[in-house]
Each structure stands twice: as structure tokens, then as C-alpha cells.
Chain A
């Protein structure tokens, strides 16, 4: 009964989404506010309806209602309630429902929060957004329904999955379910997938506003950008957190000693992040200078299309990958939708080109506009390289019939120099003024900063003198961080001198008065921290492997690991555990016991390597149990990775959240609403776009 309610709620949500699309577009065209209001209410209502579906599916997962095919696929008796609940997004059908639910949540929040902001464009915002949401709800309803049951058709030896009973069939109740993929049975299940989906779906808001602005011919206005800036930042932040948590999860469960492997699914998530980052920067030029309007449209279209492409790659397994757990028949539908979204948006953009004239011209090559333009080129270059490398194996097989692999060395070699260029720009751009930067003052600042950062980097490089290739990256990171510190100091100094504030007050007010700028700088610091982790991974990482008898030691760097014991015991959750007991020493100093494991999931016949990690702020010692002999001396093979600087990545994640928090926090917004100061625009003077 409950399952039927879940299914009916899903169907109602689909009808309401379709209705909202049609009613809003019609209402917008005919200027019927009744129709638009009705579409708005339908949009808001989709969220509670999908919430009912989601809750019922979670309840079925917790209660192990194996009559549902999805529950039998991803849940099992051995799994804890926590894992059963997270199995909501552990398989294809559930995760698609989850996707649609999060998107409907974003849209309901948008309707409640921004309804009064832009009445003229709202009908088209609803139309574009609900078309997308309706497509995903339709996919869940018609192609990959989590409420489908398993039926045995009598006569034919055949099992059918469908919501309704086929003729002459009996429902099938398995005794136990298959359970989640062992790699997903981890605490990280609560972090990475939801944040990723929040990031992917969140870009619907700026995209819908951009399309609405194009439809109403108001794309030349930067209003859509101002309205959606916070939404875009929040979506971007979730995508960033999703990437970092994904890296942490891979580090903890995949057992290869790293956090980023240039796997197709990782790349699919990186792509919208790259274009989204370019977008967040590029819209500043439009806000400030009324330039790059067409380009910003292209960036948001790309970002949004790539978000759906990311879901497509993950959910259809089109490019074989360790992450593409769910294979499905969704491919063609998805492919069509991405194609239509992209081509439809681009042709709309093309038709509206005349409304997107630049208001200003570039005044100098030495200006922040020029730096941003270069930054856009680099971001898009990286995006293309990653996209190209990801799809190239497919392309090669189609064109030449030869399968090839495009592995990490390709991505490192191609994107490495481009990323280095971006980091350099991140240091230079804040020093450049808008419009035009005087050469002399720029040179003075840059020379000072370069000299200072070179001095620091030289000392740092001396500490790593066995890796001279790392010096350039160490210098770049130092330079950018110094440039940001300088920016903060400059702002504080001005306040201290002109207003006599104490340094802390000056810092607080400086940030509070221009949160998006200084929040942005904090995000830059965070990105530099993450860059440091990549520097560690590229240059300083060490690894060794060896087979030890009891009491023998394996040395890596200044550490050594002693093998003490090997034992096997049954674990919870249907796994057999083999665990090595080892002691880690630095020189003669005992640091602690490490217990690397190999968990064997009996039903799935799948081993999972669980690393043991000794972590200090400087570095991680990451120990893997690679193999063992069952008999005799139990000679056991270990692999040890020494990962310097890796913990900067996680600290950078925290800073990133902090920085975005500063940027989106509504500092003193109440006061602005209460201000009666007339603004130039209200006085009938048109400030920008006059020429």
C-alpha cells in the first residue's frame, strides 16, 4: 500500500511539473498572472510530493521490503540501518529519484525566496526549470522506477520488473537482497553523493534565469547574474565539497594511496566545476563593465549541460569506470536531453545576440578584464583537455576500432601547465585594477611580491632540494598566498590610517563591506592549500612494497614498519576480514600500531582493501595489506605510501566552505532594504549602456 502511495506521489509530481512548464510559458506569453501564479504553486508542490516518494523509498529500504526490485538490489539484512538509508542513492533508480528530489527542493526554495525579485522573467524561469525537472521525474517514473516490483510470469521462465503485475504473474519475494556494492559501504556514503548532487542540480537556478533573460530579451542586463549569484556560489561550493569528499573517500576505500585518479567519473564531475569556476569569475566583468555578455551565457549553458553530462556518465556507465556502478537503459534518453538542452540553449543565444552588446570597451591589456579573459581561456582549455581525454577512448574505438587507455599521465601532462598558468593569474589578477592598470605601480607591487615569495620559496625549495622540479610549483603557491595577504593588509592599512580602527575591527569591517571580494580571496587561499596537496602528490610521494615474515621490517623515508601478526576473523555486514598487525617506527621511536585489512565480501565475491593510515599534519603513512601466504611463516606483502602535504587538501576544503560562507553571508542586507538614499538608476539617469 505504502509503495503505491510513493508511486502515485511520483506520478502526481510528474503531472504537476508538466503542468507548471506549460502554464508558466503560456502565462508568460499571454501575460496571465493567474496562470503564472498557478505554475508557481505547482512548482512548490512538486517538492513535498517527491519528498513523500523519497521517504517511502527510504522506509522500504530500512524495512527491507524485498518485493521492491530496487530494495532487493541495494539493501540486505547484513547492512546497518545507516547504510540501508543511504542506499537511497546507492543504485541507479534511487539516485535518479534523489536527483529529481534535490532539484525540486532547489526550485521550491527559489520560488519562495526570489518570487518578488523578477516578476517579468519568472514565468520563463519556471518554464525552463520545470521542463528539466519534469524530464528527470519522467525518467524516474517511466524508465527507472524505484517502485517497480519483481514478477515471475508463470509458464515462461522469466522474471519481469514493473510497477504493475504482468498477466499470469506472481510477485517474487527474495529472502535477502544483494546489498550495496562493498566499496559504497562506508561512512563517506553520507557525504560525497548528496553534496555532489546538490552541486549538479544547483546550477539549474542560474541556468534557468539566464535562459529566461534570453527569452525576454533582457540578457543584456546583468540582473539575472545579480539575482542568481548566491545560488551559483552555493551550487559551486557544493560541487567543490563533493569533489573534496569524493577524493577523501577514494583515499579511504579504493586503496591506491591517492585522492585523485583522473577516472572518467571524477572527470565528469570536474568538468562542470571548471566551467562553473570560469563562470563565477567571468560574470564579475559583466557586473562591473557590461562586457562578455555572450560569453557568460555560453559558460552557464556549458556548466549546466556538463552537470547533466556528469549525471549521464555516472548513471549510465557509458564509459567503463570503477565508479559507474549502475548500468542502464537510460543512455539514449539522457543523450537526447543533453543534446536538446545544449543545442536549444545555444540557438536561443544565437537568436538573441543583438541584445547582448558590450557596453564598454577594453581600455588596456594590463587590466583585470584582460586577466579574466586569459583565465577564461585557460579554464576552457583545461575543460576541453579533460573532456577530450575522457571521451577519447570511446572515439578511438568508434573511429579506428582500437581501444586505447587515456590514463593519469595524459591528464597530468596536459593540464599541469595550464593549471600552473591559472595559479599565476590568481596571484596577479588581484593586483590589477579594472579598466587600466598603470605599469609603474603594478611593477612596483609585483617586483616586491616576487622577490619576497622567491626568498620564501628558495628556503622551502632547499628543504626539498632532492626534487628540483617541485620548486616552480612551490614558488607559485607562495606567490599567490603572499599576494592575497598583501591585498588584506592593504585594505586593513587604509582603514587603520583613515579611521583609526584597531587591526581586528579593520579586518572585520573590510571583509563585511566587501564580502564577495574577501570571501573570494579566502577561497583562493583554500585552492592554494589543495594545490599544495597536489604538489605533494606529484613530487614528494614515495611508495614501496615488500614481503615480510613476522618481525621483519619494511623501510620508507624515515619510517619503518614491523610485521607482528596476521589474523582472520568474520566481520559484520557479511565480510571475512584478514588483518595484519604492524608497528610503525620513526627510526627507533615507536609511533603506534597499524592494522591494514583485506575485507572479503562473501556474497559479492569482492575483496576490499582497507588501508591503515598514520596521519600527522606533515604527511600520511598509508599502509596496505597486499597479500599473504596462508601457511608456514605467513610471509605477508605490504605496500606503503608516504604522502607528504596531503592533509592540506582536507584543510583547504574547510577553508573553501569558510570563504564561500563569507561571500554569501547577508552582511547588513537589512540596512540596505531600509535605506532611502536615491540611486542613480531611480533618478532617471541611465548610468551604464548609454553609449
Chain B
């Protein structure tokens, strides 16, 4: 297969598309399949269709991009090469998955950081609660003894539970 032939085909396809906005994608038994094109298109977004991945977008621009991907696949480009090509041409925004470098890496790092801080805080809070409990119990322990403190504790809890039970039964 030669390139001029492909371009001719693309031109034909494009002219058909202009007439109605919908076209059949040319299939060539030897060339890359539509599934191979879509596998890469899924990872790309064209700049004019926000929030619609390239593999499902039906605008003319996106059809042209897919044709371009098919062309590049036919030339034997790898997936990484194709993605790099589109990034070089149109900028980082074409990638569905944000890159992990520069300012953009923050989009990945911050959620991880927030969860980590959240877990640490929760553990600290749990520890603090336990600490507060023993600190609260200790003066009584020195004064009246542990038994009394525990009796108080049970009393409150029992009452609270009775109320809950009453809620349920009454």
C-alpha cells in the first residue's frame, strides 16, 4: 500500500463527509482495523470537543484525527509515537490521562496526600480520644477509686441504651 493512495482515499472520505456529516470509515483488509484505531483514540481528546473522547466523537475534526491515526498506524508508528505526535501538535490537553510531570503531577499527588493526611489525622483523633478517656478517669481513680468511676460510666451508658431501646419498642 502506498501513501498517495491512502491520501486519495482520505480526500474522498472527507468530501463524502462534508456532504452529510456522516461517512463510512474506509476499511482495508490489510490496513489497521477500526478497533486498533479506537484503542488509541480512546486515550485522546480533540481540542474542540470537551469531555468527549476521540473514539466516540462524531464531529468532522475527530473523524479527521482518527483517519490520521489510521494513517500513522499503517506507517508502522507505535502507540507512544502517535500520542507524542498529537501532544507535540496540540499540547498536553489532548491526553485523556494527565501526565505525571511538572505542575500537572499535582493532580495525582494531592489526592494521595489528602488521603494520607486524613488517615493520620483520624488515627491521631482516635488516639486522642482514648487518651482523653484515661485522663478523665484518672482523678476519680485517685480519689474514690476505679470502681465508682466505672459504676458512673455504666450508669450513663445503661441509661443511654435504655433510651435507645425505648425508642425501638415504645
Interface segment out of the listed A298-306, A338-346, A404-412: A404-412
CB pair A358–B93 under 8 Å, yes or no, is: no
Chain B residues with CB under 8 Å of A322's CB are: 50-52
Interface-centre pick from B52, B95, B110, B159 (highest chain A CB count, 10 A): B159
**0/1 string, A383-410, CB within 8 A of B gives 1:** 0110011001100100110111111111
**0/1 string, B8-27, CB within 8 A of A gives 1:** 00000000100111111111
Q: How big is chain A's contact interface, by range?
A: 35 or more
Cα distance A418–B125 in the bound complex, in angstroms:
21
CB pair B38–A543 under 8 Å, yes or no, is: yes
Q: Is B61 an interface position by the 8 A CB rule?
A: no
Cα distance A376–B125 in the bound complex, in angstroms:
13
Closest A residue to B27 using CB positions: A547
Cα distance A685–B155 in the bound complex, in angstroms:
11
**0/1 string, A236-271, CB within 8 A of B gives 1:** 000000000000000000011100010110000000
Known: A514-B168, A687-B156. A679 touches B163 (CB 8 A): yes
Cα distance A408–B159 in the bound complex, in angstroms:
51
- Which of B23, B152, B170 sits near A671, CB closer than 8 Å? B170
CB pair A414–B108 under 8 Å, yes or no, is: yes
CB pair A628–B24 under 8 Å, yes or no, is: yes
Chain A residues with CB under 8 Å of B114's CB are: 380-381, 384-385
CB pair A288–B164 under 8 Å, yes or no, is: yes
CB pair B27–A546 under 8 Å, yes or no, is: yes
- Which of A263, A361, A681 sits near B133, CB closer than 8 Å? A361
Closest A residue to B159 using CB positions: A687
Q: Is B148 an interface position by the 8 A CB rule?
A: no
Chain B residues with CB under 8 Å of A32's CB are: none
Cα distance A409–B97 in the bound complex, in angstroms:
6
Known: A362-B129, A403-B91, A407-B45. A396 touches B16 (CB 8 A): no
CB pair A547–B111 under 8 Å, yes or no, is: no
- Which of B16, B93, B136 sits near A402, CB closer than 8 Å? B93
CB pair B130–A681 under 8 Å, yes or no, is: no
Q: Is B118 an interface position by the 8 A CB rule?
A: yes
Q: Is A365 an interface position by the 8 A CB rule?
A: yes
- Cross-chain pair count, CB within 8 angstroms: 194
CB pair A404–B92 under 8 Å, yes or no, is: yes
- Which of A256, A389, A627 sits near B23, CB closer than 8 Å? A627
Measured CB to CB, the closest approach of chain A to B22, in angstroms, equals: 5
List residues 31-82 of chain B with CB under 8 A from any CB of chain A. 33-35, 38, 43, 45, 47, 50-53, 56, 58
CB pair A408–B104 under 8 Å, yes or no, is: no
CB pair B93–A384 under 8 Å, yes or no, is: no
Chain A residues with CB under 8 Å of B159's CB are: 680, 685, 687-688
Q: Is A153 an interface position by the 8 A CB rule?
A: no
What are 18 A-B pairs with beta-carbon distances under 8 A? A256-B52, A288-B164, A322-B51, A362-B129, A377-B122, A384-B114, A392-B107, A402-B91, A404-B95, A405-B96, A406-B98, A407-B98, A544-B35, A546-B34, A546-B35, A609-B58, A639-B34, A688-B160
Q: List 16 additional A-B contacts (Cβ < 8 Å) besides A407-B95, A598-B22.
A: A257-B56, A358-B129, A362-B129, A374-B119, A377-B121, A392-B106, A404-B107, A405-B96, A405-B98, A545-B33, A545-B34, A547-B34, A607-B21, A626-B25, A628-B24, A691-B153
A-binding residues in B (CB < 8 A): 16, 19-27, 33-35, 38, 43, 45, 47, 50-53, 56, 58, 91-99, 102-104, 106-108, 110-112, 114-115, 118-119, 121-122, 125-126, 129-130, 132-133, 136, 152-153, 156-157, 159-160, 162-164, 166-170
B-binding residues in A (CB < 8 A): 255-257, 261, 263-264, 288, 291, 320-322, 358, 361-363, 365, 370, 373-374, 376-378, 380-381, 384-385, 388-389, 392-393, 396, 399-400, 402-410, 413-414, 418, 435, 513-514, 543-547, 578, 598, 600, 607, 609, 626-630, 635-637, 639, 671-672, 675, 677, 679-681, 685, 687-688, 690-691
